[in-house]
Amino acid sequence: MFSLEQITTGIHQWLSNNFSANVVLVLEMTLIGLAAITLFALLGLVLVYMERKVSAFIQIRLGPNRVGPKGIFQTAADTVKLMLKEGFVPDGADKFLYKLAPFVVMIIAMLLLAPIAFAKNFAIWDLNIGVFFITAISSVSVIGILMAGWASNNQYSLLGAMRSGAQIISYEVSAGLAILTIVVLTGSLQISEIVKSQENGWWLFKGHIPALIAFVIYIIAVTAETNRAPFDMAEAESELTGGFHTEYAGMRFALFFLAEYINIFIVCAIGATLFLGGWMPFHIGTWEGFNLVMDYIPSSIWFFGKTFFLIFVIMWFRWTFPRLRIDQLLHLEWKFLLPISLFNLLLMTFIAIKGWHF
């Protein structure tokens, strides 16, 4: 059976047989970096194409259908266009911060890949505070957005960056509380332990109604955190032309554009890990025959299948609901989602103490 774990084990054994320990460490770190960059590039191509086709399906049209079969090379053509497009720095901009901001956003997205378990025994860094690491590092991404908006010396950019800062900081609270709901159930911050705890059923089903409420709140909150419609107030083309990245073009704009889709993948991967078992197959209690059949499907297929399902849901939101006003956006968080999240966490804590979950 296909397994990413077998591939990594084979590579490690071959390197260990031919090089010293220090050289093996450097080579493996280099390979991991190249693999992460390759994954970023592939996800960018796939998710942009997927977004266009999903929007076309919802709007009853074809979507890209000219460049390549079914338009599959349209995203590659757009990538080439962005690579060849001239980049410039606006007059009056802070050149250093203006150029640095896109790289800050991308580096933070790359760091968030470290604790995620893509398959069984397949993670870059399975540290014991994986969930805390993700929530802490993800909160830093707002610095890159604020940096881009301020350094551009543009009122639209600054307003978009301030909106994004308020939005991300606000909805991080509800997203964090939803994550804590599952941490309370598992009693661990380690990603591998959270996945292992769902061996006999996913927390979305085992955690009763509080787990379902936490899942819904998490999806809403991360949609707002990634500046996706109907919460795309940071960009709001009809009001701010492009928001915080109005003054960016060429590869610098491409980095912001790519980071948005990478962040969508990351938050959906975390949601799939916490609520849907991550790479864990769908198991039902003691149904040994059914569970054995589910185990034949490779763990990486389970992980990416669940992740892309959640990505589809977030894309579905974009093409279904109208954009909110900024005041409605903040009222939704502070007056509704936050109180519900706090009560839900308290209820889940009581359920975990009593052991009433499945």
Residue 2: the pLDDT is: 59
How many angstroms separate the CA atoms of 221 and 212, rounded? 14
Residue 1: the pLDDT is: 53
Structural tokens at position 306 = 């669940």
DSSP alpha helices (H): ranges in 72-140? 74-84, 95-111, 130-138
Domain range annotation of the chain: 47-354
CB count within 10 Å of CB 320 equals 10
Cα 320 from chain centroid? 21
- Residues 241 and 158 sit within 8 Å (Cβ to Cβ): no
- Residues 272 and 307 sit within 8 Å (Cβ to Cβ): yes
Please give the helix or strand (H or E) that residue 326 lies within, else none: helix 326-331
- Residues 117 and 266 sit within 8 Å (Cβ to Cβ): no
Tell which residue, 36, 63, 41, 44, has the closest CA to residue 52: 63
What residue has token string 């389970």? Answer: 302
Beta bridge partners of 122: 119
Give the sign of the dihedral formed by CA 291, CA 294, CA 300, CA 302: negative
Give burial (CB, 10 Å; 0-12/13-18/19+) of 273. Answer: buried
- Residues 230 and 318 sit within 8 Å (Cβ to Cβ): yes
Structural tokens at position 254 = 């491409």
Residue 291: the pLDDT is: 82
Give the sign of the dihedral formed by CA 25, CA 27, CA 32, CA 36: positive
Q: Which segments in the chain show pLDDT lower than 50?
A: none
DSSP SS3 for 119: strand
pTM score, whole prediction: 0.92
The vertex-117 CA angle with 116 and 122, nearest 5°, equals: 130
Residue 52: the pLDDT is: 93
- Residues 153 and 248 sit within 8 Å (Cβ to Cβ): no
